[in-house]
Chain A
Amino acid sequence: MSLYRPDLGTEIPRTALTQEAVWAAIRGKHRDLRGRIFEGALLLTLLLSLGVLVTLLVDITGAGWDVLTTRKTEFLTSNLSSIASRAGVWQGLVGSVMVMSFVIILAFPIGIGAAVYLEEYAPDNAATRFLTANIRNLAGVPSIVYGLLGLAIFVLWIGRITGGLSVISGGLTLAILVLPIVIITSMEALRAVPSSIREAGYAVGATKWEVIRSHVLPYARPGIFTGTVLSLARALGETAPLILVGAFTGTFFGASGNLMERLQGPYTTLPTVVFNWSRLPGEDFRHMAAAASVLLMALILVVNATAILLRNRYERKW
């Protein structure tokens, strides 16, 4: 092998750089053994976590399959009952939807409003940072603590208005539970809007309100949507705090009458139904619980899929 040197006009033989010598030097020796072990270990952790999940799904679906296929919609539309063959999840579904409505109506606007204030208006000082840090911590407080809070405030203190152990108490408790999550995710979505866009708005003579209304909020919307919808999924799966604020764990008859009376009446939710049935003796109810679990997971999957769809549809690149 030789190298051509145009400045010298000749070919200089580089004896050391023979083809064999170069080949021997740069040939792959595939010695990265530790790297391969590490890669394998990482793959193992992934398979382990996936394996647990798949086992769970297969087990539950298997256990609930008969109930779902033989009773079909009748399982969805039947009320709770102490007789397994007659019991259905209707009251749980209705309760979950009602409680979710409270979350949407209360936690979303309040949470997004608080996030806009903290991110856009509040001065960046120690007090604001302290507040934000605490909201972050609140998002990590165990849900049972929120259940105790709900019991103390909504059930006992203002029980006259909420009806005590009622839909309203449950809805308010869950709304408070997801509020920190809504605030934090909304703040992050607002922060993701680059400051150059805000400056562009100010530079053509927009007021702060005009910049926020016409630019910051619309551009942060996909992020806010995703965060809030995911927090809804979280609320949908909560059981523990609801048991404290009155979600029925037994059979009951829902209140009739106007909307307010219904809201002040007894209720249960889908995860509470699962909890209830799984405690009852007998194979029948174990299968019922599995079937209700499948339903609950499907519902949460739908909610999460909505969040992902919204994000992909409105996602923006700067």
Chain B
Amino acid sequence: MNESGEAMEVDLARGSVEREAGEIGRLIVELPGNHRPSAAESPVVFDVRDLSVWYGPFRAIREVTLPIYQRQITALIGPSGCGKTTMLRCFNRMNDLIPAARVEGTILYHGVDLYEREVDPVEVRRRIGMVFQKPNPFPKSIYENVAFGPKIAGFKGNLDDLVERSLEKAALWDEVKGKLKDSGMTLSGGQQQRLCIARAIAVEPDVILMDEPCSSLDPVATLRIEELMQELVSEYTIVIVTHNMQQAARVSDRTAFLTVDVREDGQRTGILVEYDFTDKIFRNPSDGRTEDYVTGRFG
């Protein structure tokens, strides 16, 4: 791995205090501005260390280090091509599906390296669910959409109850309870996305990853999803990628700002600029690039 220079840049951007301390979480406790009080002490779910992702010869993100905390909403923001989606897809090993993708560095999930040779990505994905940019319900009934995950996981309990509970948690039950046999494709875009959230929580995951979940929705549907996230975060750890800075400011506890670093030879790579409490990132960022981005001067 390419040491020093590149790694330093990332760490300087985030404030070198954290690097010296080693224990990143403990220092962030002292920073003001967190709006979910218990969040400060919450344990680390993902400990990302020096994460680099390559697509063939192209390096999508370079040496990102950051912790993700339990039962918090962490937002990944940044301009197009900064690798935020790439990073999100590392958390449930979705990048494995891209043949040319290669991951360097480590992601510790509750202390276990997700990219350890013996780790089964299928088991990882049962615990770390995902909601995608474009609602992608299966062209099957609403019921089947939610029941598929538990079924393949060998769920033995009452499936009807589980489907109802999941749809309720996704704030969709009241709208669909009379038509569970209808195709999931008949729902509106916002309903489809909530169906996808219900599908993700039906397998009782630990973490829900959301890749720009509102980018194809209208403002009303977006608001509903955001409210839903606020409810879900009491039970789940949520990591959300968003293009919408207001959204990140509204919903998240912590925000990581990534940007595109263009090297002299023209190579473009995503790097982490700053990671902090959301209030801090939006009100008083430490890095000039963050400030430019959140105030709309760039990106």
A residues contacting B by CB (< 8 A) are: 123-124, 194, 196-207, 210, 214-215, 219, 316-318
Chain A residues, CB < 8 A from B200: 203-204
Which residue in B97, B137, B185 is a CB contact (below 8 Å) of A199? B97
B residues contacting A by CB (< 8 A) are: 92, 94, 97, 99, 122-123, 125-127, 129-130, 132, 134, 136-139, 148-149, 152-153, 185, 196, 199-200, 202-203
Is B134 touching A203 in the complex (CB atoms < 8 A)? no
Is B122 touching A200 in the complex (CB atoms < 8 A)? no
Chain B residues, CB < 8 A from A207: 122, 152
In the bound complex, how far is the Cα of B130 from the Cα of A124, in angstroms? Answer: 26
Q: Which residue of A lies closest to B196 (CB)?
A: A200
Closest 3 CB pairs of A and B: A205-B126, A204-B149, A203-B130
Chain B residues, CB < 8 A from A202: 94, 97, 122, 125
Known contacts A123-B99, A199-B94, A214-B148; decide if A205 and B132 are in contact (CB<8 Å).
no
In the bound complex, how far is the Cα of B139 from the Cα of A214, in angstroms? Answer: 11
In the bound complex, how far is the Cα of B203 from the Cα of A301, in angstroms? Answer: 48
Main secondary structure of the interface of A (DSSP, over half): helix
Is B152 touching A196 in the complex (CB atoms < 8 A)? no
Sampled A-B contacts (11; CB under 8 Å): A124-B99, A196-B136, A199-B136, A200-B132, A200-B136, A202-B97, A203-B130, A203-B132, A204-B200, A205-B125, A206-B122
Chain B residues, CB < 8 A from A198: 97
In the bound complex, how far is the Cα of B149 from the Cα of A195, in angstroms? Answer: 18
In the bound complex, how far is the Cα of B130 from the Cα of A219, in angstroms? Answer: 22
CB B239 to nearest CB in A, in angstroms, measures 13
Task: Specify which of B92, B126, B152, B200 lies most central, judged by the most chain A CB atoms within 10 Å of its CB.
Answer: B152
Is A210 touching B94 in the complex (CB atoms < 8 A)? no
Known contacts A197-B136, A197-B138, A316-B139; decide if A205 and B99 are in contact (CB<8 Å).
no
Q: Which residue of B lies closest to A193 (CB)?
A: B139
Chain A residues, CB < 8 A from B148: 201, 204, 206, 214
In the bound complex, how far is the Cα of B139 from the Cα of A317, in angstroms? Answer: 9
Chain A residues, CB < 8 A from B139: 197, 219, 316, 318
In the bound complex, how far is the Cα of B145 from the Cα of A204, in angstroms? Answer: 10
CB B149 to nearest CB in A, in angstroms, measures 3
CB A225 to nearest CB in B, in angstroms, measures 16
Is B138 touching A205 in the complex (CB atoms < 8 A)? no
Chain B residues, CB < 8 A from A205: 122-123, 125-127, 149, 152-153, 203
Chain B residues, CB < 8 A from A317: 185
Chain A residues, CB < 8 A from B129: 203-204
